[in-house]
Amino acid sequence: MIIYSRFLVNVFTLGKAVGITLFPFIFIVPEMHGNRVVINHERIHLRQQLEMLVVIFYFIYLCSFLWNIIRRKNFMAAYMRVLFEREAYAHEYDPDYLARRRLYASLRYAFGRNGRA
């Protein structure tokens, strides 16, 4: 379910994003209503969360982010290196990606097979 709310997106992202997925909801700022790229990006996260049983997704996401913040010492650089974000950004422009996406596809990004780790 997609919920359009600038307030909720700002609360959950500290104003740093236009959308966020918190299973089972996708929150998007109203200005991005109908933006297929943003919606696809967030739907990729929804699939990732579902296959990782939600809690495991958040644990891996947090560990990946913390590891990258230690390595890169930059919030945005760390965020962009989170394996789940790497997959979502790599395929956000492909509207058919989720139809052919393999199970646990995001794990490929943890081991550098799709770019440098």
Task: Give per-residue pLDDT as tens, 6-58.
Answer: 999 999 999 999 999 999 999 999 999 999 999 999 999 999 999 999 999 99
44, 87 contact by CB (below 8 A): yes
Residues shown for the chain: 117
What is the number of other CB atoms lying within 10 angstroms of the CB of residue 39?
18
Nearest to 105 by CA among 117, 94, 95, 113: 113
| Residue 60: both structure tokens together | 């891996």
Q: Which helix (H) or strand (E) holds 2?
A: strand 2-4
At residue 111, the pLDDT reads 72
DSSP notation for 77-112:
HHHHHSHHHHHHHHHTT-TTHHHHPPTTGGGGGGTT
Sorted by where each begins, the domain ranges of the chain are 2-110
The pTM of this model reads 0.92
Could you report the per-residue pLDDT of 56-93, keeping only the tens digit for each?
A: 999 999 999 999 999 999 999 999 999 999 999 999 99
